[in-house]
Amino acid sequence: MTDDGGSRSPPTEEPHYSVPCIKGDSLSIRICQDEYVKGLEDCQYALRGRLILSKGDKPYTARDLASKLGKIWKIIHQWKMVNLGQGFYDFLFENHDDFNRTWTAGTVSLQPGLLRLSQWTKDFNHNAQTQTHASLWIKLVVLPQEYWRERTLKEIASAVGTPISIDGPTRNRAFGHYALILVDIDLSKRVYDEILVEREGFAFNVVKVPDRGKKQVTDAASNPPLVGKGASSSGTLCYVPLPTAAETHVVVPTPTAHAHAVVPPPTAETCAIVCNALFNY
Q: Are residues 117 and 137 in the same domain?
A: no
Q: Please give the single-letter amino acid code of residue 29.
A: I
CATH number for the domain including 95? 3.30.70.330
Per-residue confidence (pLDDT) for residue 127, from 0 to 100? 81
How many domains, the chain? 2
Position 109 pLDDT exceeds 50: yes
Q: Is the pLDDT of residue 146 over 70?
A: yes
Would you say residue 254 lies in a domain? Answer: no
Query: 110 and 140 in one domain?
Result: no
- The whole-number average pLDDT for the span 98-125 is 86
Answer yes or no: do 141 and 108 share one domain: no
| Statement: residue 79 has pLDDT above 90 | yes
| pLDDT (average), residues 160-172 | 85
Indicate whether 243 belongs to any domain: yes
Q: Which one of 98, 122, 146 terminates a domain?
A: 122
| 171, 68: one domain | no
87 and 163 fall within a common domain:
no
Q: Is there a domain that residue 149 lies in? A: yes
| Chain mean pLDDT for the chain | 76
pLDDT tier for residue 134 given thresholds of 50, 70 and 90: confident
